[in-house]
């Protein structure tokens, strides 16, 4: 690669400054917001890929992608440009960047006192490198001892990424090691850098295979650095200041697209296993699941139909029903619906070479094309070879949507599980239609799953236009939160996986993927023993996606009732999840509306407490509930560090109050998940512990954990019919409250907004058993509030 060195000011536009580097390359600095800048290099004045699918600032991007040079959707504030000697300074009221000669950038931010302080800097020696043949770009930044790095989406190991090297190259990483395997399924080259006084985000909008080194690499000829390198594409990055970590995460979501607001039932328990659909009598096995849920009194809202329903012998053929296994799909799906269980069917974007429809699809030219021959590309897929559908071809999108409609939706299966969509097409020059402008697959591999899920989404929306759709996708890139719920892929059964999947989920949440979960119990390997299954379920019920899924080596099935001795403990955990559904649903609303993460590291709301940055198995569900999962075999007591705050914390079960900034030890019997609640919080609970049904959900309770002594706080509850778009017209309930307390009394003041009238008419407030102060609701001494 060749280092970019000497620059001159080429021109100034309304939204950017353009330099000419080494007489041939255009180096642009865009000023998009006061605290958001962008750097884009046009090698020899040209872009390798003139569009993007990741940036969606206000509305979704066009199918064919967003013009890479567009600044639509940004405020594009005025900025000051000052040139002196060998430097160029560009500034707004929040950020400024100095361009040095030879080429490297130095970033500063303005604090609340109006002082300009260092934010980040490129490596002064060889900061920007381009491959002379147009393949490959690299960017080097300074690395400082006071910095810590977070983000990168779905990654194994610790939440703090400092010192690691990570690759973005989507793979089907079946049975991965949750502490060390890399790469995995998703492509999100986004980092959060936290310094002692400020945090900033850095997102590289490049969809080729990339690598980020965050302190693993050393070179004696340069100052300590961090490195980004992509195998092709453009060097195009967004730099934005927090100042807090939470601010950076929310800004990244606003940059790449808001979280999709799915139906309430998507937050219920979702059953799944490969075993049922792989069995010769798949329909019978599936129908038994309904009866077993009833027999064991396990609430369930959905079931994910694994790909065995499409099999011929031992291979899987998307959209091909095996009627020997499932002779009556419509009868089966209706039985599930009658039981309150929605079905989501597994679909894959690759047709094996002997797929019954392969030749038909090939003749229509719907596959990605070979780089040299006039035929479809062939790649290894599910123990054979197959060809991948090209979702940049409108005809392929239509074929896909027609099949989703005819083979699934018309069969009574209302949701899609978009799986095995890593697009492992290693012929990098294989040709994609590109909506009429051909693109090599190496430029857009992670876009294919993004467009696949969008195609599925639109098919579902057209089929039931008044219902909010639900989709799942395993692979994808930044922006996938606009369409789907996701999970951490095919994990391996072990205590280690339980521990590190938790960190993986929090890492995804920091990276804009809020609606996430894991395969509870472990997908591959040995079946979990009874203790591990209980602890995994207790952990899983505190994630937005709660699914027990498995493909155990010994052909056993992970089910809530697989160990009768611990079924009551598992049932209690699932019941707790259903009791907390009003809280989960409010968090999903806030994620969609206000870009608030659902899963949160303990430091996210407590950056003032340095101890919260230590690696931990704890996480926050929303701002109020601290989840202290048990991830060690045999552990029956749990140490929990309580972040320092003014109001303290309560034990969820006993109501005991604790001051913050200390480590406590709580009992953790097998049947109990340790939970701690922030003082000042009020958790909404439902009395219904069955599948989601708005008409039958007729009771609400608020667990109030009041501030000790004098204090104040606020919160809200969101509710609606749970499945339509009527909330957009005001058919929803936004119930807000303010809490004020002193040593004598606790006052709760409710304010309601919206026209929706839920089945519950009254909300009952419950205080900790030890609380002696009097409770006043809207000025009246009582313990309830009527709508």
Write down the pLDDT at residue 260: 97
Same domain, 208 and 64: yes
Same domain, 64 and 200: yes
Mean pLDDT, the chain, whole residue set? 97
- Cβ-contact 301, 577 below 8 angstroms: no
739-767: average pLDDT: 97
Same domain, 136 and 216: yes
The percent helix, strand, coil of the chain (3-state, each to 5) is 20, 35, 45
Confidence check: pLDDT of 340 > 90? yes
Domain boundary among 631, 653, 678: 678
For residue 146, tell me if it sits in a domain. yes
Confidence check: pLDDT of 786 > 80? yes
For residue 302, tell me if it sits in a domain. no
Coil, strand or helix at 312? strand
By C-alpha distance, which of 514, 320, 515, 311 is closest to 408?
320
CATH code for the domain of 232:
2.60.40.1760
pLDDT, greater one: 479 or 132: 479
Write down the pLDDT at residue 75: 97
Same domain, 137 and 233: yes
End-to-end CA distance of the chain: 67
State pLDDT tens for residues 460-469: 999 999 999 9
Confidence check: pLDDT of 123 > 80? yes
For residue 364, tell me if it sits in a domain. no
640-661: average pLDDT: 97
Same domain, 752 and 668: no
- Tell me how many domains the chain contains: 3
For residue 404, tell me if it sits in a domain. no
Confidence check: pLDDT of 510 > 80? yes
For residue 281, tell me if it sits in a domain. no
User: How does residue 314 score in pLDDT terms, banded at 50, 70 and 90?
Assistant: confident
- Check: pTM over 0.75? Answer yes or no: yes
CA 193/CA 49 separation, integer angstroms: 28
User: How does residue 383 score in pLDDT terms, banded at 50, 70 and 90?
Assistant: confident
Write down the pLDDT at residue 685: 98
State pLDDT tens for residues 475-509: 999 999 999 999 999 999 999 999 999 999 999 99
Domain boundary among 256, 279, 313: 256
Confidence check: pLDDT of 4 > 80? yes
For residue 507, tell me if it sits in a domain. no
For residue 590, tell me if it sits in a domain. no
260-279: average pLDDT: 96
Same domain, 13 and 144: yes
Residue 766: give the domain boundaries. 684-786
115-124: average pLDDT: 98
**Buried (b) or exposed (e) across 518-546, using 16+ Cβ within 10 A?**
bbbbbbbbebbebbbbbbbbbbbbbbbbb
Confidence check: pLDDT of 541 > 80? yes
By C-alpha distance, which of 691, 660, 654 is closest to 675?
654
Burial of 441 (0-12, 13-18, 19+ CB in 10 A): buried
Burial of 5 (0-12, 13-18, 19+ CB in 10 A): middle
Q: Of 32-36, 55-59, 167-171, where does mean pLDDT reach its minimum?
A: 55-59
Coil, strand or helix at 780? strand
CA 366/CA 396 separation, integer angstroms: 5
Burial of 244 (0-12, 13-18, 19+ CB in 10 A): middle
DSSP string covering 498-547, please? HHHHHHHHHHHHHTT--SEEEEET-SBSSPP-HHHHHHHHHHHTTSSEEE
Same domain, 26 and 95: yes
Same domain, 68 and 202: yes
Write down the pLDDT at residue 135: 80
CA 518/CA 606 separation, integer angstroms: 26
Domain boundary among 644, 678, 712: 678
Same domain, 197 and 243: yes
- Cβ-contact 671, 625 below 8 angstroms: no
- Cβ-contact 203, 255 below 8 angstroms: yes
Confidence check: pLDDT of 134 > 80? no
State pLDDT tens for residues 135-148: 899 999 999 999 99
Residue 416: in which H helix or E strand, if any?
strand 415-418
Same domain, 647 and 780: no
Confidence check: pLDDT of 30 > 90? yes
């Amino acid at each position: 690669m060749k280092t970019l060195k000497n620059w001159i000011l080429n021109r100034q536009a309304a939204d950017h400054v353009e330099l000419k580097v080494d007489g041939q390359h255009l180096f642009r600095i865009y000023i998009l917001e006061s605290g958001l800048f962008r750097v884009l290099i046009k090698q020899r004045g040209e872009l390798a890929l003139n569009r993007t699918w990741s940036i969606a600032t206000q509305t979704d991007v066009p199918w064919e992608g967003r013009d890479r040079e567009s600044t639509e959707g940004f405020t594009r504030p005025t900025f000051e440009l000052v040139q002196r000697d060998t430097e160029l300074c560009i500034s707004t009221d929040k950020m400024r960047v100095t361009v040095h000669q030879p080429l490297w950038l130095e970033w500063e931010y303005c604090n609340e006192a109006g002082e300009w302080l260092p934010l980040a800097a490129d490596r002064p020696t060889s900061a920007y490198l381009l491959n002379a043949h147009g393949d490959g770009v690299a960017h080097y930044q300074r690395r400082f001892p006071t910095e810590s790095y977070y983000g990168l989406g779905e990654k194994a190991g610790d939440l703090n990424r400092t010192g690691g090297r990570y690759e973005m190259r989507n793979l089907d990483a079946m049975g991965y090691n949750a502490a060390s395997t890399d790469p995995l399924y998703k492509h999100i080259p986004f980092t959060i850098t936290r310094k002692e006084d400020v945090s900033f985000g850095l997102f590289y909008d490049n969809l080729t295979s990339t690598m980020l080194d965050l302190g693993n690499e050393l070179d004696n000829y340069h100052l300590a650095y961090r490195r980004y390198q992509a195998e092709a594409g453009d060097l195009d990055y967004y730099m934005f200041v927090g100042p807090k970590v939470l601010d950076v995460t929310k800004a990244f979501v606003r940059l790449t697209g808001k979280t999709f607001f799915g139906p309430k039932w998507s937050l219920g328990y979702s059953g799944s296993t490969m075993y049922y659909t792989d069995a010769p009598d798949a329909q019978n096995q599936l129908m038994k699941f309904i009866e077993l849920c009833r027999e064991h009194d396990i609430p369930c809202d959905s079931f994910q139909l694994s790909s065995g329903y499409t099999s011929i012998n031992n291979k899987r053929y998307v959209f091909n029903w095996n009627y020997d296994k499932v002779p009556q799909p419509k009868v089966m799906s209706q039985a599930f619906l009658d039981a309150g269980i929605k079905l989501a069917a597994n679909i894959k974007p690759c047709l094996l070479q002997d797929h019954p429809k392969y030749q038909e699809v090939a003749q229509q030219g719907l596959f990605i094309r070979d780089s040299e021959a006039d035929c479809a590309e062939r790649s290894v897929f599910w123990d054979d070879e197959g060809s991948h559908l090209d979702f940049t071809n409108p005809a392929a999108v239509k074929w896909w949507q027609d099949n989703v409609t005819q083979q699934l939706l018309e069969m009574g299966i209302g949701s899609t599980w978009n799986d095995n969509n890593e697009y492992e097409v290693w012929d990098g020059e294989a040709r994609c239609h590109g909506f009429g402008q051909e693109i090599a697959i190496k430029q857009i591999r992670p876009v294919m799953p993004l467009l696949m899920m969008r195609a599925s989404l639109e098919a579902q929306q057209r089929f039931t236009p008044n219902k909010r759709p639900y989709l799942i996708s395993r692979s994808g890139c930044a922006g996938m939160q606009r369409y789907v719920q996701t999970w951490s892929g095919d994990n391996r059964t072990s205590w280690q996986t339980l521990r590190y999947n938790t960190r993986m989920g929090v890492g995804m949440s920091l990276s804009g993927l809020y609606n996430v979960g894991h395969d509870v119990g472990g997908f591959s390997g040995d079946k979990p023993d009874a203790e591990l299954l209980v602890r995994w379920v207790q952990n899983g019920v505190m994630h937005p996606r709660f699914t027990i899924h498995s493909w155990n080596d010994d052909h056993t099935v992970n089910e809530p009732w697989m160990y009768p001795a611990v079924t009551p403990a598992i049932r209690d955990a699932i019941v707790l999840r259903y009791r907390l559904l009003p809280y989960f649903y409010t968090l999903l609303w806030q994620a969609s509306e206000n870009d608030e993460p659902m899963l949160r590291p303990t430091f996210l709301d407590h950056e003032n407490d340095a101890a919260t940055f230590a690696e931990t198995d704890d996480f926050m569900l929303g701002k109020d509930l601290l989840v202290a999962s048990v991830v060690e075999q045999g552990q029956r007591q749990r140490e929990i560090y309580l972040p320092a705050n003014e109001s303290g914390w309560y034990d969820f079960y006993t109501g005991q109050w604790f001051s913050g900034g200390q480590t406590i030890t709580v009992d953790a019997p097998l049947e109990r998940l340790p939970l701690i609640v922030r003082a000042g919080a009020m958790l909404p609970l439902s009395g219904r512990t069955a599948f989601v049904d708005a008409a039958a959900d007729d009771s609400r309770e608020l667990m109030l954990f009041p501030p000790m002594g004098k204090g104040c706080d606020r919160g809200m509850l969101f509710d609606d019919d749970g499945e339509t778009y009527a909330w957009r017209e005001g058919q929803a309930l936004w119930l807000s409250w303010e809490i004020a307390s002193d040593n004598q009394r606790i006052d709760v003041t409710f304010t309601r907004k919206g026209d929706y009238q839920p089945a519950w008419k009254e909300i009952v407030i419950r205080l900790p058993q030890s609380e002696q102060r009097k409770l006043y609701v809207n000025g009246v001494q009582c313990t309830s509030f009527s709508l």
